[in-house]
Amino acid sequence: MLLGEGQTPLVRSRSIGALLGVDNLYFKLENLNPTGSYKDRFAAVLVSEMNAKGQKVCIATSSGNTGAALSAYCAAAGITCILVVVDGAPLPKIRQMQLYGAQIFMVHGFGKDPGVTATVFNELEKLCAANDLPLPISAYRYCPSAMQGVQTLASEILETLAGQVDHIFAPAGGGGLTLAVTNGVLTEQPDGGRTRVNCVQPEGNDTIASALRTNEPRARAVAQSTTTVSGLQVPGVIDGDRVLENCRKTGGTGYVVTDERVFFWQQALARQEGIFSEPAGAVALAGLEDAIRRKEVSRSETVVCLVTGSGFKDMASVETNFGLPAVQTVEATRTIGLIQPYL
Amino acid sequence: MLLGEGQTPLVRSRSIGALLGVDNLYFKLENLNPTGSYKDRFAAVLVSEMNAKGQKVCIATSSGNTGAALSAYCAAAGITCILVVVDGAPLPKIRQMQLYGAQIFMVHGFGKDPGVTATVFNELEKLCAANDLPLPISAYRYCPSAMQGVQTLASEILETLAGQVDHIFAPAGGGGLTLAVTNGVLTEQPDGGRTRVNCVQPEGNDTIASALRTNEPRARAVAQSTTTVSGLQVPGVIDGDRVLENCRKTGGTGYVVTDERVFFWQQALARQEGIFSEPAGAVALAGLEDAIRRKEVSRSETVVCLVTGSGFKDMASVETNFGLPAVQTVEATRTIGLIQPYL
Which residues is A277 bridged to in the sheet? A310
Contact B339 A312 (CB under 8 A): no
Residues 198-227 of B with CB under 8 A from A: none
Q: Which of B326, B264, B35, B306 is nearest to B176 (CA)?
A: B306
Distance CA B182, CA B180 (A): 5
Helix (H) or strand (E) holding A10: strand A10-12
Distance CA B196, CA A22 (A): 49
Cα B75 to chain centroid distance, Å, stands at 22
Chain A: residue nearest B113 by CA? A332
Domains, chain A, ordered by start: 10-34+147-321 (3.40.50.1100), 39-130 (3.40.50.1100)
The answer to whether B135 contacts chain A (CB < 8 Å) is: no
Q: Which of A307, A342, A297 is nearest to A22 (CA)?
A: A297
The answer to whether A51 contacts chain B (CB < 8 Å) is: no
Q: Cβ contacts (< 8 Å) between A46 and chain B: which residues?
A: none
CA distance B277 to chain A (A): 10
Q: Tell me how crowded residue B127 is: count the other CB atoms within 10 A of its CB.
A: 17
Distance CA B19, CA B79 (A): 47
Backbone angles phi, psi at B11, to 5 degrees: -105, 150
Contact A99 B342 (CB under 8 A): no
- Decide: helix, strand or coil at residue B235: coil
- What ipTM, to 2 d.p.? 0.94
Sheet harboring B57-60: ordered strands across? A329-330, B103-107, B80-85, B57-60
Tens of pLDDT along chain A (343 residues) come to 689 999 999 999 999 999 999 999 999 999 999 999 999 999 999 999 999 999 999 999 987 899 999 999 999 999 999 999 988 887 888 899 999 999 999 999 988 888 888 899 899 999 999 999 999 999 999 999 999 999 999 999 999 999 999 999 999 999 999 999 999 999 999 887 899 999 999 999 999 999 999 999 999 999 889 999 988 999 889 999 999 999 999 999 999 999 999 999 999 999 999 999 999 999 999 999 999 999 999 999 999 999 999 998 888 888 888 889 888 899 999 999 999 999 9
Contact B34 A276 (CB under 8 A): yes
Distance CA B157, CA B8 (A): 10
CA distance A120 to chain B (A): 6
Which residues is A84 bridged to in the sheet? A105
Contact A75 B272 (CB under 8 A): yes
The answer to whether B9 contacts chain A (CB < 8 Å) is: yes
CB-nearest to A312 from B101, B312, B327 is: B312
Q: Cβ contacts (< 8 Å) between A32 and chain B: which residues?
A: 4, 32-34
The answer to whether A128 contacts chain B (CB < 8 Å) is: no
Contact B318 A275 (CB under 8 A): no
Collect all residues with Cβ–Cβ distance below 8 Å to B102 and sequence separation of at least 6. Answer: B67, B70, B71, B74, B75, B81, B82, B83
Cα dist from A113 to A83, A93, A106, A173, whole Å: 18, 21, 14, 19
